[in-house]
Amino acid sequence: MAIEARNVGKNFGDFVALEDVSVTVGDGALTALLGPSGSGKSTLLRIIAGLETPDTGEVLIGGEDVTHSPARTRGVGFVFQHYAPFKHMNVHDNVGFGLSVRKRPKAEIQDRVKELLGLVRLDGLASRYPSQLSGGQLQRMALARALAVQPQVLLLDEPFGALDAQVRAELREWLRRLHEEIHVTTIFVTHDQEEAMEVAEQIVVMNKGRVEQAGAPRDLYESPANEFVMSFIGPVNRLGDAFVRPHDIQILAQDDGTGTEALVERVVHLGFEVRVELKLHDGRDIWAQVTRENAQELELREGQILSVRLPSPRVFAG
């Protein structure tokens, strides 16, 4: 089911959470709402789910105006940031809840729960209580619970936010594969650009209650619409009004007259990537990203004076 938000506005008292936001998500797509905290991304997600009512604008799911429909009739699966487990129920009853309130027969619920626990790899944990599960397991239980009622739309609020780095990486990969398998239209909220780039097919960049840009991850990276998108997606050097990507800075082995003189202030080895902090001859600080091999060839040392070639910088109007 395609999702569309049209000119949505929402205020909380004096705080403008969303201002004239329009977003379109295609049927079966996997989309990230990306932005810093307070950008309105979670509010937009909750408005799509029906957990908040917009002050202005409309929400359409599958072409149907659901702006004033209650959450429970929207056919939306929602995974909360802190999973919102039903603490007094075991995993089986949590996952089966949506079917149980629909008064489905016990045998059917049993089968469906079993199938879903297999899908989220929680087999054998059906009789555990939420207090006995790890963060990653709770996350997957919450996902199974949302999927049990076969939602037309799956919404996830900061799905990996509260997990440690390794579990995060695993779940990202797994979410992407799950989406390939079940192909339900999915939107997730994140403040982590790397996460958005890795998982999503489409990214909507939000800032201060507005959409800055929407598009495929690669398009956003290669042709950012403005300063905010450029600096939020991927690393960036700021030179006055202009922006330069650190990996676009070339460090020259020999000064051939085309480069600018720079002093190496610090060399940081981050595994494959090496980060070189430089001071240009005019006193501006800048950093470059080179590969490990490249750094070795150039024999980079602190205090060294070398020559760099800057790409033509990007300047955004206004």
Based on the shown chain and the rule CB under 8 A, indicate whether residue 13 belongs to the binding site for other proteins.
Answer: no
The CB-of-47 to other proteins minimum distance in angstroms stands at 13
Q: Residue 86 interacts with other proteins (CB under 8 A)?
A: yes
Counting Cα atoms < 13 Å in the Cβ hemisphere of 44 gives: 37
- d(C-alpha 213, C-alpha 219), whole Å: 10
CB of 153 or CB of 251, closer to other proteins:
153
* Residue 58: count of CB within 10 angstroms of its CB: 15
Stretch of residues binding other proteins (CB under 8 A), selected from 45-53, 163-171, 196-204, 223-231:
45-53
Residue with tokens 């595994």: 271
Q: Is 55 in the site for other proteins (CB under 8 A)?
A: no
Query: Binding string, 261-300, against other proteins, x = CB under 8 A?
Result: ----------------------------------------
Q: How far apart are CA 180 and CA 156, in angstroms?
A: 16
Q: Compute how many residues bind other proteins; rule: CB under 8 A.
A: 29
Q: Which of 51, 116, 122, 200 binds other proteins (CB under 8 A)?
A: 51
Q: Binding residue for other proteins (CB under 8 A) from 1, 5, 32, 146? A: 146
**Residue 98 interacts with other proteins (CB under 8 A): yes or no:** yes
Candidate list 70, 118, 235, 311; residue touching other proteins; CB under 8 A:
70
- Token readout for 286 is 């800048």
87, 94 contact by CB (below 8 A): no
Q: Sheet containing 15-25: which strands, arranged edge to edge? A: 15-25, 3-12, 56-61, 64-65
Q: Does position 129 bind other proteins by CB under 8 A? A: yes
Binding of other proteins by 14 (CB under 8 A): no
**Is 87 a binder of other proteins (CB under 8 A)?**
yes
**Measured distance CA(108)–CA(4) in Å, rounded:** 33
For residue 101, state whether it binds other proteins (rule: CB under 8 A).
Answer: yes
> Minimal CA–CA distance to 2: which of 24, 34, 21?
24
d(CA 72, CA 51): 9
Q: Does 141 bind other proteins (CB under 8 A)?
A: no
Binding other proteins by CB under 8 A: which of 85, 136, 217, 234?
A: 85
Helices 165-182 and 135-147 cross at an angle (nearest 10°) of 20
Report whether 122 contacts 85 (CB < 8 A): no
- What are the residues binding other proteins (CB under 8 A)? 49-51, 70-74, 76-78, 80, 82, 84-88, 97-98, 101-102, 129, 131, 142, 145-146, 148-149
